[in-house]
A = this chain, B = another copy of it.
């Protein structure tokens, strides 16, 4: 079973709206074991919508067309489907009443042109829209099918979940499910990672293994299994995950939705330790990322962003001569502990540019780590890229350093 996705809307081509619907639909199709080899976006143009549908149906069993069901003259999906099916549009009285009722419920008069939303190509069946005015459509085209759903995400999602996917599964007859699990890594390049697990990748057909570079979120290794049932799929994934973890070791900081800040907070919570930060070059990004995790307040005390040198001295009591130095990073980490009353103190100071500082080149960053029962340590790195990248990479690198330190404590 193969189902493609066509999103209709000139605003998508102009970049005024990002097409998140196609990605969402693609995710659902994959979870249901339905192949999707192509997504397209075209503008509000009858001829091009029809041409795209014809073209996609040459190879696919089904197409989900998203958008163009509104009441305005540039909403042309209904007309496109009628042309594709070679069938006339018929206005459904019951749909007109439904639309009028929705307007009534909102205390508004239905504009005449809204009746267009009640037009259905002869031979198509209707997908009810309990929350909006535009009904969805199921349009048989020979032995193929086109599903039309609104572009409003919430309405689209409900129709795809309740009507489109079940209909697709019925047609596919295949009971397969697809499940996937993502291992999130930090500390090596995508290519380095690829080489480490090349044998696993080559050996695998099911589950399959894919890489996703996620910038400052790290590199994701995704395991995707196809099986007859949920349990079998999970077992396949679990077996592959064991193999991969044996190779990747502590490069893996989390799975699926777990960010680096989750990983760090979780480790601190287990030990009952609180965290304080002292930041310079990152300007507050370290605190911002940690505080982004719901429930962070259990662990996170706060952060002193000492951007100006004399604030490092007055608030953090730094005495180091150079503020981009090992000594300064150590003093900041210790200050983060006592100024903020935290068990663990982390610190970052460096040069994000545009110009060098204290004779240190742009990209020079010092991290400080003050952990109970360990000597305070400082580590330096040279980071590539522009100002923003240096700040972002400094943030996750510091959190990763703390993660590894905590794991090393055993």
Least CB separation from A16: chain B residue? B212
Contact A105 B283 (CB under 8 A): no
5 pairs, A vs B, C-beta closer than 8 Å: A70-B190, A106-B384, A283-B291, A284-B285, A287-B305
Query: Whole-angstrom distance between the alpha carbons of A353 and B353 in the complex?
Result: 36
A301-B308 contact given A26-B14, A340-B315, CB 8 Å threshold: yes
Contact among B36, B39, B45, B288 for A285, CB-based, below 8 A: B288
Q: Which of A101-115 contact B (CB under 8 A)?
A: 102-103, 105-114
A268 close to B (CB within 8 Å)? no
Query: Whole-angstrom distance between the alpha carbons of A282 and B296 in the complex?
Result: 12
Contact A19 B13 (CB under 8 A): no
Query: Taking beta carbons and an 8 Å cutoff, which residues of A are in contact with B?
Result: 10-20, 22-28, 30, 36-43, 45, 48, 52, 55, 70-74, 102-103, 105-114, 131, 152, 154, 180, 182, 188-192, 194-195, 201, 210-213, 215, 222, 224, 274, 277, 279, 281-292, 294-297, 300-308, 310-311, 314-315, 339-341, 353-354, 381-389, 391
A302-B287 contact given A105-B384, A297-B307, CB 8 Å threshold: no
Contact among B37, B190, B302 for A71, CB-based, below 8 A: B190
Contact among B38, B222, B295 for A42, CB-based, below 8 A: B38
Contact A194 B308 (CB under 8 A): no
Query: Whole-angstrom distance between the alpha carbons of A289 and B281 in the complex?
Result: 12
A71-B283 contact given A152-B213, A292-B391, CB 8 Å threshold: no
Least CB separation from A316: chain B residue? B302
A341-B310 contact given A48-B37, A211-B16, CB 8 Å threshold: yes
Contacts of A340 in B (CB 8 A): 308, 311, 315
Chain A facing B: main interface SS: mixed
Contact A386 B41 (CB under 8 A): no
Contact A40 B37 (CB under 8 A): no
Query: Whole-angstrom distance between the alpha carbons of A305 and B109 in the complex?
Result: 34
Contact B294 A283 (CB under 8 A): no
A284-B308 contact given A72-B194, A384-B102, CB 8 Å threshold: no
A286-B284 contact given A73-B201, A304-B305, A339-B315, CB 8 Å threshold: yes
Contacts of A314 in B (CB 8 A): 341
Min CB distance, A225 to chain B, in Å? 13
Least CB separation from A109: chain B residue? B192
Query: Whole-angstrom distance between the alpha carbons of A154 and B213 in the complex?
Result: 13
Contact A301 B290 (CB under 8 A): no
Query: Whole-angstrom distance between the alpha carbons of A26 and B18 in the complex?
Result: 10
Contact among B284, B310, B385 for A287, CB-based, below 8 A: B284
Query: Whole-angstrom distance between the alpha carbons of A311 and B292 in the complex?
Result: 18
Contact A103 B189 (CB under 8 A): yes
Contacts of A52 in B (CB 8 A): 38
Contact B300 A284 (CB under 8 A): no
Contact among B16, B210, B274, B286 for A10, CB-based, below 8 A: B210
Min CB distance, A108 to chain B, in Å? 6
Contact A284 B307 (CB under 8 A): no
A311-B302 contact given A23-B17, A38-B41, CB 8 Å threshold: yes
A291-B311 contact given A10-B210, A39-B41, A111-B194, CB 8 Å threshold: no
Min CB distance, A283 to chain B, in Å? 3
Contact A42 B37 (CB under 8 A): yes
Contacts of A201 in B (CB 8 A): 73
Contact among B38, B284, B301, B311 for A40, CB-based, below 8 A: B38
